[in-house]
Structure 1
Amino acid sequence: MTDALSHAADLADFVAASPSSFHAAAEVAARLADAGFTALDERDAWPSAPGSKHLVVRDGAVIAWIVPAAAGPDTPVRVFGAHSDSPAFKLKPKPTTGRLGWLQAGVEVYGGPLLNSWLDRELRLAGRLALDDGSTVLASTGPLLRLPQLAIHLDRDANNGLALDKQRQTQPVWGLGEEDSADLLAELAGAAGVDATRIRGYDIVTADAARGTVFGRDDVFFASGRLDDLASVHAGVVALAAAADGFDADHIAMLAVFDHEEVGSGTRSGAAGPFLSDVLERVWSGLGADRAQQLRALADSWCVSSDVGHAVHPNYAEKHDPVVKPRLGSGPILKINANQRYATDAVGAAAWNAWCAQAGVFSQEFVSNNAVPCGSTIGPITATRLGIRTVDVGIPILSMHSARELAGVSDLHDLSRVAGAFFTAPSH
């Protein structure tokens, strides 16, 4: 349990450093640079020598890999996939708004947040600013905004069902005064240390300002914002960094962190875009592979798509499958769906269970109640784009898409342990 608590404390640091997808990609890159990985630029020629450790950042996505010393043109790859974005609110154009003496932020809904969970919380703003010289800088504030809930005295029916209007009732307050007396972008520019007049564009989202914390009897729970899907990103980073020292597997170990999963993945940095295929082609080409050799390598490769899934909720048991009921603290989950919303099949299930056994980790299964359809992940997208064998996994949580989600401390650590076995286990 000591190792699991240390892992949770490190995850709390990771989430605090990653309030936006751009910050998450930068934090992954920084941690892996400390582990000996070299950052590459997509505009440059890439080194091709086996025995290397590299990473590349594309906007809010990052891919990192270790090429073993004995790698050749048909060496397969093991990809641990996750995503860096989370449901939130995103700043609109002309974001400084207000009325009746309140300063407010103009925002639109990003993804599918559980709207009511964002009420009465201190929120940060974070993301990137594009400047007049073509450069970008990361910006993040401390606690700055809040979505104040209407008092019960003014809405006597609130406890009978609160439904927020996505336009009128989700604009957070951030100060007092008239809108022409303040500039929200200037607040972000100040946090980034740049002149606000230089801003030419921005991608800025909200994030819960509170740190992740361990609590509950015997410290079994971990609550934090953005566990979907920074819990998986962190597990992959920890596992890849640990594998980098003396890596001699018969495959390439790769971490692929995509952006925009919460809005469909259809971007240049999303799983439906070309980022992963671009990197794989360049890595294999650097090893001398022709197209046929790349396809042979891909046919022997694996992708583990890691994202959160629903733990059984004690107050809503009827929403879950009557037999398959994943619990916090009982291990990572294998995600299964007959309609291929998850990419897991029998071969993938067997492989996942073998990696769990090697790591000494117990795994659970997740399947939806037939009357409550599930979401999807990067897994089916990656499998479709590349033809790579893919299995969908993750950790069970409660309050998915809330501003603050709930996980089991031991599950977080166990996922990273299985990721380590995935990266290092022999292919045959």
Structure 2
Amino acid sequence: MGAQETFVIVGAGLAGAKTAQALREEGFAGRIVLLGQEPERPYERPPLSKDFLQGKSEREKIFVHAQSWYAEHNVELRTSTKVTGIDRSAHRVDCARGGPVSYDKLLLATGASPRQLSVPGSDRHRVYYLRRIEDSQQLKFALSVSSRVAILGAGWIGLEVAAAARAAGLEVTVLERGELPLQRILGTAPAEIFAKLHRDHGVDLRCGVQGTRIIGDDPRQPTGVALSDGSQLGVDLVVAGIGAVPNTLLAQAAGLELENGVMVDKHLRSSDPDIYAAGDVANAFHPLLGKHIRSEHWYNALSQPAVAARSMLGQDAVYAELPYFYSDQYELGMEYSGYVAPGGYDEIIFRGDPAALTFMTFWIKDRRVLAGMNVNIWNQTETIKALVRCGRQVDVARLADSKIPLERVLAEARAGDG
């Protein structure tokens, strides 16, 4: 199958590596070239803010494949290789080293980059971000030699770093410009649970306030952060977790259609029929949700490659997996399945005991489940996804009653009894 063809993958992260694997599993016998800008072979990013950062996981465990896998499967892995341009008419990618590579099909798996802090002093003083294995290693060391840290941004990364910093014994202040951490994503009531969790673990969580300036005479060592309320915070470490932006410069220069990432259809095909995109950079049309969705979560990078590979091989593959992500903070472990736009729900339903951190949360519109989150309750993700997928009305009171099995609520909804 395609023995004379060359498929090029730009971006040697989880999505790129898994696409190469899927191509071989689908029987593609042609040439596969996997180009990565980092010096490391492909690795997974969730441990960088979780177990690896806290020293609970060995470095070798974060890699997608063993080093030998690439040669064994005839995948040309080129690390430390920056792709400088795409010539669509010539079907060629240009590289800063190693020469150009011609392609028959091209996959963009270029990921995303941390949004950079732009306040005065952030260009002069060391501010830590978390995206690459190198970032995690450097932050792990910084946590071991620091005593007071300011974390700017109370999203998932910011809160996971806060948990790691508390585990390392640091005084932790988290600055969040909104009223509550994660409020835009989860809504007020669930966000209050995460706020209480961190405060109960000694985090100084300050909402409605921003860092306006990084303070200090030594560029290597900040001594504080000036705040929007006029006060100053004394720290010796600053971490920024203020979101990420998709890496679209190559796609933009090549003239591909862009909107919050590379626009792709349900087959993960871009506006150029020979170019595909997967992972953080892909804004993909979701047939169930009826809209384009760009997800920066691990599950997307893990799941899209099988569809991308099959589509590149000319098969009628469709990506219809529901968005999914997870987080671990202190004693709280959670999984979230589904999709709901900020404010795009009528009500939020709790099932279980939020005070004991053993509960589920459901986001409801017109009595239909749009998304669900299970906290310290396991083996329910597939049932939650089925509730979202079925699109039927549920009995909200029974959904909230933890004495009624969730599977029964699902069966009743499918039967039209909701």
TM-score by length of 1: 0.24
TM value normalised by structure 2: 0.24
